[in-house]
Amino acid sequence: VPLADVPVGEAVVVDVDGTRVVVARPSEDEVVAFSANCTHAGTVVEATGGLELRCPNHGSRFDAGDGAAVLDGPAEQPLPPVPASIEGDLVVLSV
């Protein structure tokens, strides 16, 4: 994923060979990534501005800046982390 596609302070949902992954950039030189499948029933979450994610199915919200912690249920578990690193002008994901 091009680093330029992930603005500082934002989260985006990308498709990696058919797997949806949340990539977030809490600061200039830090990226984090998570499975985009809601831990409630698997629906793909949406980025809603800033580092917040929302599941369109039953409304769970997650904070990509805090380990994808649950902000609002019904989900009870954070989104599973995906290893991510910045290499040059790319975000490299280990999906």
CB of 90 to ligand FES, least distance (A): 30
Give me the least distance between CB of 52 and ligand FES, in Å please: 14
Least distance to ligand FES, CB of residue 13, Å: 14
**16-46 exposure pattern, b = at least 16 Cβ within 10 A, e = fewer:** eeeeebbbbbbeeeebbbbbbbbbbeeebbe
Which C-beta is closer to ligand FES: that of 8 or that of 58?
A: 58
Instruction: Please say which residue, 43 or 86, places its beta carbon nearer to ligand FES.
Output: 43
Residues that bind ligand FES (CB under 6 A): 38, 40-41, 43, 55, 57-60, 74-75
Structure tokens at 66: 């805090």
Instruction: Tell me the helix, strand and coil percentages in the chain, rounded to 5.
Output: 5, 50, 45
Written as six digits, the tokens of 2 are 């091009």
1 vs 39, beta carbon nearer ligand FES: 39
